[in-house]
Every structure is written in structure tokens, then in C-alpha cells.
């Protein structure tokens, strides 16, 4: 036990490699990907797939065999989530839109990882370690159900004759939904995890995740959204009309327990784990913007005089100093949240808190950066204006800033969802 802020060596080494990737495979095509919405960065995807296969980094594919443990070796504390947070931050520093099309299963695989049986994990996750890059997506949001997931209308019933689940509904804002569900000869066969109710009268207790494989009749991508930023990432609408999946494609207990919300809690558990990671992606974008600002100021002979009393600083100095404070403190909150996850400490509060902070900080920093750079900030000749557009999503997806405030408030007040709506 101690208080320490030393970046673990394996993470530092990984960061060194990822920076090269971010510079050479992401920044170099960043503008092109932004201008050609829905173009697929095949080069980046294939490179990342090969790299992740070789190192096992960032992939949720079950490890085939465990190495014999050397009992004499002192056990190191686990750093998996910390590593992932650093990885996502650096890749998002490269290009957050492209990072979102990193193969490996994304939120879909994370939902399986959080809620599935060992057999299901083997069945659904093994593909991510295979030859071709493969995608999976999570389908939660509906036209009438965003943050209020209890309003989900998509439903599933069991056809007892065929022992299949039959799913009907409409899902929107599905990140990587197209890559998961529409065949592409360069990619493996993906899937989506659809959250649906098996008993609408049971509210959240009736909610379950269902794995729907690519090619399932009735599950169709109907639209690709056009977005303010993160344009390299496909955001799909998926319609489900009598989509049938085998019985064992349901995640978690298939019977309704009216008194509990286990099924839904599993979905939420996915968010506890991924909120700090999403925060990390925003922070990567903010760091890119702040570095750009400092570089341009230096080029123009504008020095930031750290150490001066506040009332002696210029306006630009105050802004840059504030941006640094925001960036570093939010990043440390992310590190703490993932460190807790690695060490098996409940981190619902810290996860939501760092997401609240990162959502604020990334939007504020990128907005201020554009302001400070004048015409350079607004011009598409530089990437700064793109980072401003990319950043805003951080405060929206994986729970808006407001929903996360609600989660934080309930935690610090000891209130249930009923006591604080």
C-alpha cells in the first residue's frame, strides 16, 4: 500500500509503440477519413488486428492456454485496465474516430465478457483472435430510449417449438453496427448484442442481452448516421423484425426474477467498466488539442510563465494553465478508476465521476483551443477544428454528462434510483 504515480514499465513501453502507430497510421489519414465519412481505414484496422493478435493487447478473446506460473516470481498487481486506458488515450490522441473502428469486439464483446457463461464466452469471443479482424457492437439506444434504458421497447420471446428467441424492435446509434452486421470480405463475421425485454411488465428485471450473429434474417442495418465528428466511425440504425436466435444466445439467466434487476445490472456493469475508458478517449483528443495550442504559441514566441501569481498572468496564460489543470486532473481520475477495477475494488462512483469530468474537460479544452488559435483554429487546414467536433461526443455517449452526474449524486447521497430520479 502506498501512493504512487509511476507509469508501469509495460505500459510505458506500449505507449512508445502506440505513439508511432498514432502518428504514422492515424494522424496521416485523419483528415482524409474525416472528409470521406464512412470510408473504412483498412490499413489501420488490419495493422491493429495483427498487432493485437501478436501481443494479446486490447483483445477480449479467451486466452488459449495459460503459461505455467512461476511460483517463485513475486506476483505483480494486475494492470490490464490501466493498460487499456493508456492505449485508448494514445490511439484517440491519434484519431478518436479511427480508434472507434479498432477491431476486437468493442462494447459488444465487453457485454459478453461481463454477462456470459464460460461456454458462451468461448463461442462468441474466440473469433476475435482469428485471422481476419472482426467487429461486434452493443445495441442499447432506441429512438424513444436513450439514457432512460427502462423505456426500451425491443422485446424477445421464446418460440418453444423451435427453442429460439424471436426479437423485434429498432436500435439506433450503434457504434460499429455496420462493420459488425454487414459482410465485408476483409473482415470476419461479427455480431451485435441487443438489449431487449423478455417480460415488458417486469421493467428492468426483464432486460436481457441477446447475441445476434451477422447474417441473421430479420436483423438489418437500415441507416448510417452523418455526424458532427468521429466520422471514421460508423453509427448504424438496426431494425429487428422477427430476428431469430438460438436459445443459448441469451446472456445471463433466461428466467425473469421480478424482484431483482440482475439482467439490467449486467448491462450497467459493462458501463462501470467502460466509462473510464471512454473518458480516456476524450482525454486523448483534449491532449492532442492542448499540445497543438502550446506548439503554435511557442512558434509565435508566446511563452507561458508558470509560477506567476494569478493576477499577473495574461489571459492566454490563464487559459493554458487552466487547460493543463483540467487535463491532468481528469486523467488522474481515470487512472484511479481503472486501478480500482484492476484491483477488484467497486468503482461505480469513480467511473462515473471521471466520465463527468472528462466530458466537461474535453469539450472545454477543445473549444478553448479553437478560440485561442483564431483563424487557425477554425480552418480545416489543421486538425484542431476536427478535434473540437470529435470531442463533443465524449460528453454524450456511454451516458451523458447529466446521467453520470445522476449516478455520482446517487452514490454520494446514498440514494436509490427511486429516491433521486
Catalytic (active-site) positions? 398
Cβ atoms within 10 A of the Cβ of 97, count?
25
- Half-sphere CA count of 248, side-chain side, radius 13 A: 8
Is the distance from CB of 383 to CB of 369 less than 8 angstroms? Answer: no
Instruction: Choose among 171, 169, 139, 168: nearest CA to 242.
Output: 168
321 forms part of the interface with another protein (CB under 8 A): yes
Quick check: 330 binds another protein (CB under 8 A)? yes
316 and 330 in contact (C-beta within 8 Å)? no
Scanning 165-173, 277-285, 323-331, 371-379 for contacts with another protein by CB under 8 A, the matching segment is: 323-331
For another protein, the closer of residues 128 and 339 by Cβ is 339
d(CA 25, CA 104): 18
Calculate the dihedral angle through the C-alpha atoms of 22, 98, 230, 207, rounding to the nearest 10 degrees: -130
Q: How far apart are CA 420 and CA 345, in angstroms?
A: 25
Per CB under 8 A, the segment of 3-11, 224-232, 283-291, 364-372 that binds another protein is 3-11
Nearer to another protein, 228 or 413 (CB): 413
**Contact status: 116 vs another protein (CB under 8 A):** no
Count of residues that bind another protein according to CB under 8 A: 47
Under rule CB under 8 A, residue 415 binds another protein? yes
Which listed range, 20-28, 46-54, 265-273, 320-328, lies at the site for another protein (CB under 8 A)?
A: 320-328
Residue 118 touching another protein (CB under 8 A): no
Kindly identify the residues of this chain, within the stretch 61-80, that bind another protein according to CB under 8 A. Answer: 77, 79
Q: Are 29 and 39 in contact (CB under 8 A)?
A: no
Residue 320 makes contact with another protein by CB under 8 A: no
The helix (run of H) or strand (run of E) holding residue 244 is strand 235-246
Is 329 near another protein (CB under 8 A)?
A: yes
Q: Does 280 bind another protein (CB under 8 A)?
A: no
Q: How far is the CB of 403 from another protein (least distance, A)?
A: 11
279 in Cβ contact with 330 (< 8 Å): yes
Is 218 in a helix, a strand, or coil? coil
Q: What is the SS3 assignment for 146? A: coil
Interaction between residue 148 and another protein (CB under 8 A): no
Among positions 44, 187, 210, 339, the unique one binding another protein when judged by CB under 8 A: 339
Find the part of the chain contacting another protein (CB under 8 A) among 25-33, 53-61, 281-289, 301-309.
301-309
Q: Would you count residue 344 as binding another protein (CB under 8 A)? A: no
Q: How far is the CB of 135 from another protein (least distance, A)?
A: 31
Using the rule CB under 8 A, is 277 a contact of another protein? no
Of 30, 230, 254, 229, the closest CA to residue 160 belongs to 254
408 binds another protein (CB under 8 A): yes
Least Cα distance to 124 among 176, 61, 186, 177 occurs for: 61
Judged by CB under 8 A, which stretch of 109-117, 191-199, 200-208, 412-420 contacts another protein? 412-420
First to last CA, the chain: 38
How far is it, in rounded angstroms, from Cα 289 to Cα 120?
A: 42
Binding flag, residue 138, another protein (CB under 8 A): no
Cα dihedral 272, 126, 91, 384, rounded to 10, equals -80
Per CB under 8 A, the list member of 45, 207, 333, 341 interacting with another protein is 333
Residue 309 within binding range of another protein, rule CB under 8 A: yes
Residue 82 contacts another protein per CB under 8 A: yes
Residue 306 binding another protein, by CB under 8 A: yes
Cα 112 from Cα 275, distance rounded (Å)? 17
- Provide the grid cell at 288: 492532442
Q: Of 217 and 307, which has the nearer Cβ to another protein?
A: 307
Angle, helices 106-115/118-125, rounded to nearest 10 degrees = 160
Which parts of this chain interact with another protein (CB under 8 A)?
1-8, 77, 79, 82, 306-312, 321-322, 324-325, 328-330, 332-333, 335-336, 339-340, 350, 353, 356-357, 402, 405-406, 408-410, 412-413, 415, 419-421
Amino acid at each position: 500500500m502506498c501512493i504512487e504515480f509511476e507509469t508501469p514499465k509495460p505500459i510505458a513501453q506500449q505507449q512508445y509503440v502506440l505513439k508511432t502507430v498514432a502518428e504514422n497510421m492515424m494522424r496521416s489519414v485523419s483528415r482524409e477519413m474525416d472528409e470521406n465519412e464512412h470510408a473504412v481505414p483498412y490499413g489501420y484496422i488490419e495493422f491493429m488486428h495483427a498487432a493485437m493478435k501478436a501481443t494479446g493487447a486490447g483483445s477480449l478473446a479467451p486466452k488459449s492456454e495459460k503459461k505455467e506460473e512461476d511460483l517463485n516470481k513475486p506476483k505483480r498487481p494486475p494492470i490490464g485496465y490501466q493498460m487499456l486506458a493508456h492505449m485508448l488515450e494514445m490511439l484517440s490522441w491519434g484519431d478518436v474516430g479511427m480508434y472507434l473502428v479498432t477491431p476486437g469486439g468493442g462494447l459488444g464483446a465487453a457485454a459478453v465478457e461481463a454477462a456470459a457463461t464460460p461456454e458462451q464466452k468461448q463461442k462468441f469471443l474466440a473469433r476475435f483472435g482469428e485471422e481476419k479482424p472482426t467487429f461486434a457492437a452493443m445495441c442499447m439506444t432506441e429512438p424513444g430510449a436513450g439514457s432512460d434504458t427502462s423505456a426500451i421497447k425491443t422485446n424477445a420471446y421464446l418460440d418453444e417449438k423451435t427453442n429460439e428467441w424471436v426479437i423485434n424492435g429498432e436500435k439506433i446509434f450503434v457504434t460499429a453496427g455496420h462493420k459488425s452486421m454487414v459482410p465485408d470480405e476483409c473482415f470476419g463475421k461479427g455480431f451485435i448484442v441487443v438489449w431487449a425485454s423478455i417480460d415488458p411488465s417486469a421493467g428492468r428485471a426483464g432486460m436481457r442481452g441477446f447475441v445476434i450473429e451477422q447474417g441473421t434474417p430479420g436483423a438489418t442495418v437500415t441507416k448510417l448516421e452523418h455526424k458532427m465528428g468521429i466520422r471514421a466511425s460508423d453509427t448504424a440504425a438496426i431494425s429487428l423484425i422477427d430476428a431469430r436466435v438460438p436459445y443459448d444466445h441469451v446472456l445471463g439467466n433466461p428466467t425473469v426474477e421480478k424482484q431483482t434487476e440482475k439482467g439490467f445490472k449486467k448491462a450497467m456493469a459493462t458501463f462501470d467498466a467502460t466509462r473510464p475508458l471512454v473518458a480516456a478517449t476524450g482525454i486523448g483528443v483534449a491532449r492532442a488539442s492542448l499540445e497543438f495550442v502550446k506548439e503554435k504559441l511557442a512558434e509565435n514566441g508566446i511563452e507561458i510563465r508558470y509560477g506567476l501569481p494569478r493576477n499577473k498572468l495574461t489571459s492566454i496564460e490563464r487559459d493554458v494553465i487552466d487547460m493543463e489543470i483540467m487535463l491532468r486532473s481528469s486523467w488522474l481520475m481515470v487512472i484511479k478508476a481503472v486501478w480500482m477495477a484492476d484491483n477488484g475494488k467497486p468503482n461505480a462512483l469513480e467511473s462515473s465521476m471521471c466520465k463527468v469530468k472528462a466530458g466537461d474537460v474535453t469539450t472545454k479544452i477543445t473549444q478553448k483551443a479553437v478560440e485561442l488559435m483564431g483563424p487557425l483554429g477554425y480552418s480545416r487546414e489543421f486538425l484542431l477544428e476536427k478535434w473540437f467536433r470529435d470531442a463533443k461526443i465524449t460528453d454524450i455517449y456511454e451516458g451523458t454528462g447529466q446521467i453520470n452526474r445522476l449516478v455520482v449524486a446517487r452514490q454520494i447521497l446514498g440514494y436509490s434510483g427511486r429516491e433521486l430520479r
